[in-house]
Amino acid sequence: MSFLRRLMESLAGGGANRHGIQVGDRYVKTDGQYQSMWTVHQIVHFEGIPPHARLVPDQEYHLGYRTISVTALDDPDFYRRVAPGPRPNAPR
């Protein structure tokens, strides 16, 4: 299914509860040369748009976060889900 079609379904409410993305899921960024690893820290909801995932980088946890639409996060052109595992530099 295309990115645009998934986005339209999410806006219509069809993907709001079906995204299947959970806190703790890990993803590798697939676009660009540098493939960084990210972990879902929080799912956030904004009025009128699809849910978003707040991601923290595995290697530089202290550097902040990025917020990505679950629709974009589910698109293999941008991110790919990987097996769960510990974050190397996460605070304990």
Q: Which residue ranges form the domains of the chain, and what is each CATH number?
A: 3-82 (2.30.30)
Q: For 49-77, what is the mean pLDDT? A: 88
Q: Which two tokens stand for residue 17?
A: 């509860």
User: What is this structure's pTM?
Assistant: 0.67
Residue 36 has pLDDT above 90, yes or no: no
- Measured over the CA atoms of residue 39, residue 67, residue 69 and residue 47, the dihedral's sign is positive
Supply the mean pLDDT for the chain. 78
Identify the residue with better confidence: 64 or 13: 64
Report the length, in residues, of the chain.
92
Higher-pLDDT residue of 25 and 89 is 25
Rounded Cα gap, residues 55 and 6, in angstroms: 20
Q: CB–CB of 21/45 below 8 Å? A: no
